[in-house]
Copies of this chain bind each other. A is one copy, B any other.
Amino acid sequence: MVKKTRAGGRKNGAGQRTPATRDLLLNAAEALMCDEGYAAVTSRRLGEKAGVTSPLIHYYFASMDDLFVALYRRHAEQSLSSLAQALQEGDVFETLWRQSRNSDNAVFFMEFMALGNHRKAVRAVMVEYAQEYRRLQYDAVRGYLKEQGLQPGISPDAAVVLIAGTGFLLGLESRFGMSFGHQSVEEAITRLCAKDG
């Protein structure tokens, strides 16, 4: 079902799999997870969505937990590099705020939070990347403030958490069709960022 051109001639032996199908499976898993929740990501439904039979999932991932960990890892790597690039190109606070209230990110993150709440391996990879992500945000804010010679009333690490938390909630609520205070907090954050940095 999946056509692929071999990467290149090489010695036979164990390991070394073609990445195409693996990525296809992760794509299907991500879509399924965001659309219907992590409980819908079963080997059979996943295979169905990817146009593949279910045992193939276990050929690429030792267990469903391994698949979830791999999925989070891939998403986190993408988020990290995409944030790093956006921070270099655009306004720091505006970038952080936009990325924080991204509704798709919020849903993905929440599903994994719920998953990580009772699966140790998932929780571990989440903590690992969360720290890296926060570090990136923090360094960007601190560098920006120093560069501009600003001394805002709120510390850089507090600002990062405040923006992340507020944006996260906004992203989730908007997915549920809730909008109370969203316009106001939008203006407040924008004003705060413009004033402080």
What residues of chain A have their CB less than 8 Å away from a CB belonging to chain B?
35-40, 107, 110-111, 113-118, 123, 126-127, 130-131, 134-135, 138, 154-155, 157-162, 164-170, 172-173, 175-178, 180-182, 184-185, 187-189
Contacts and interface: CB of A to CB of B under 8 A. Distances in A.
Interface centre among A165, A180, A181, A185 (most CB of B within 10 A): A165
28 contacts: A37-B114, A38-B39, A110-B110, A113-B114, A113-B172, A114-B114, A117-B175, A127-B177, A130-B173, A130-B176, A130-B178, A135-B180, A138-B180, A155-B187, A155-B188, A157-B185, A158-B187, A158-B188, A160-B181, A161-B169, A161-B181, A161-B184, A161-B185, A162-B185, A162-B189, A165-B170, A166-B166, A169-B169
A163 to B, nearest CB: 9
Determine the main DSSP class of A at the interface with B: helix
A117 to B, nearest CB: 5
